[in-house]
């Protein structure tokens, strides 16, 4: 039987998860009101929980039932028909992870509908129950995040740019949509720009981690487009491939696509107040610095993984401190 957790204790645990993950990311929410800040911590903690399930870093205890097993069977069949690629794990581990994700989706649905018993006394779900009561979060945005985690249970093989964008939408844009719902921004235009911001940030992340992902058996780049440049995926494991003219040509197309999404993403700030702008602006500046480093290297992400320099981190921290001060007095 789960320990009874108070609402306050639940939010404190979510805050601790957020703080431990990234002190800078955590600080970027400090200008928000108490209620909005707690809601963001809960959503972030939920995303970490789901990500840990997909990566196998945690195996939460799931209350199995005939209904849950049926849902898992149906979901597994559908996912296998969609992906038509190998599972990343053996059958037992695959089912454990998928069941935990399906369980999370079901419980969030019940919480959204007002069924408090779905918290099962677990802090993250206790906090999310309160978030649902306080903010107009769309359940579909949360379940989309889970769908992105489900995709990572299979060997990733995107074929087209649209498939890459779809993946980015699930794992990044949907998170941004939940955040602007907490910020109180429900304008349709803002949602479009938030989607582009998520795609932009995740595409930079994908390009930065090409070599690392390849070693893990994950290819997030569009296979059909790579073929157009006569690039075999095995070449992504070559530390010297960054100097290859075929790769450089592919990266030029990749960079142009990122820039188009980036151009749209910048308009999101027009819809947000000064306190709500702080976190997405920090994220954009951090990822833009990484993106510019990739551009400066002409796309060489193989010889050395692009990252923020110590000087750049100091500058971002200084900007954050100044903007937090200004936002609090605005």
**Which residues of the chain, if any, have pLDDT below 70?**
1-3, 308-330
240 is written with which tokens? 């010297």
CA-nearest of 90, 76, 222, 231 to 163 is 222
Out of 129, 154, 179, pick the residue that ends a domain: 154
Contacts of 92 (CB under 8 A, 6+ apart): none
Distance CA 119, CA 104 (A): 10
Question: What is the per-residue pLDDT for 308?
Answer: 66
Phi, psi at 210, each rounded to 5°: -50, -50
Q: Which residues pair with 219 in a beta bridge?
A: 157
Containing H/E element for 10? helix 7-21
pLDDT at 5: 86
Domain end: 99, 125, 154, which one?
154
Domain count, the chain: 2
Bridge partners of 157, per DSSP, are: 219
Q: Are residues 171 and 241 in the same domain?
A: yes
State the number of CA atoms in the 13 A half-sphere of 265 facing the CB: 26
Residues 209, 121 share a domain: no
Q: What residues make up the domain containing 304? A: 156-330
- Are 213 and 317 found together in one domain? yes
Same domain, 177 and 130: no
Q: Which of 154, 185, 213 is the last residue of a domain?
A: 154
What pLDDT is recorded for position 23? 72
Q: Do residue 186 and residue 122 come from a single domain?
A: no
Same domain, 114 and 218: no
Residues 57 and 161 in one domain: no
Q: CB under 8 Å to 222, separation ≥6 — which residues?
A: 158, 159, 160, 161, 163, 164
What pLDDT is attached to residue 256?
Answer: 97
190 and 324 in a single domain? The answer is yes
- The CATH number of the domain where 321 resides is what? 1.10.600.10
Q: Residue 50 and residue 150: Cα distance in Å, rounded?
A: 10
Same domain, 168 and 275: yes
What pLDDT does 3 receive? Answer: 67
pLDDT on residue 317: 52
Residues 104 and 253 in one domain: no
The position carrying tokens 């157009």 is 228
Same domain (yes/no): 184, 298: yes
Tokens encoding 248? 């450089």
Q: What is the pLDDT of residue 28?
A: 78
Same domain, 175 and 30: no
């Amino acid at each position: 039987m789960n320990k009874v957790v108070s609402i306050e204790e639940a939010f404190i645990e979510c805050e601790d998860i957020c703080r431990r993950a990234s002190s800078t990311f955590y600080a970027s929410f400090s200008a928000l009101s108490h209620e909005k800040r707690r809601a963001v911590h809960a959503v972030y903690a939920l995303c970490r929980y789901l990500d840990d399930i997909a990566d196998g870093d945690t195996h939460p205890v799931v209350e199995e039932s005939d209904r849950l097993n049926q849902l898992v069977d149906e979901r597994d069949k559908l996912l296998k028909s969609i992906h038509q690629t190998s599972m990343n794990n053996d059958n037992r581990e695959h089912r454990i992870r998928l069941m935990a994700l399906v369980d999370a989706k079901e419980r969030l649905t019940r919480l959204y509908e007002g069924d408090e018993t779905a918290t099962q006394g677990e802090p993250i779900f206790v906090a999310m129950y309160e978030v649902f009561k306080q903010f107009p979060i769309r359940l579909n945005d949360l379940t989309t995040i889970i769908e992105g985690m489900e995709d990572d249970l299979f060997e990733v093989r995107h074929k087209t740019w649209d498939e890459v964008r779809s993946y980015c939408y699930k794992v990044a844009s949907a998170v941004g949509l939940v955040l602007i719902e907490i910020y109180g921004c429900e304008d349709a235009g803002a949602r479009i720009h938030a989607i582009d911001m998520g795609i932009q940030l995740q595409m930079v992340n994908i390009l930065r981690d090409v070599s690392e992902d390849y070693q893990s058996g994950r290819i997030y780049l569009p296979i059909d487009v790579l073929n157009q440049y006569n690039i075999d995926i095995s070449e992504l494991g070559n530390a010297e491939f960054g100097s290859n003219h075929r790769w450089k040509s592919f990266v030029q197309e990749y960079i142009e696509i990122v820039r188009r999404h980036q151009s749209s993403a910048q308009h999101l700030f027009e819809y947000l107040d000064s306190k709500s702008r702080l976190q997405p602006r920090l994220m954009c500046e951090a990822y833009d610095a990484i993106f510019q480093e990739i551009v400066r290297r002409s796309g060489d992400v193989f010889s050395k993984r692009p990252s923020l320099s110590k000087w750049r981190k100091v500058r971002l921290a200084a900007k954050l401190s100044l903007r937090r001060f200004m936002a609090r007095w605005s």
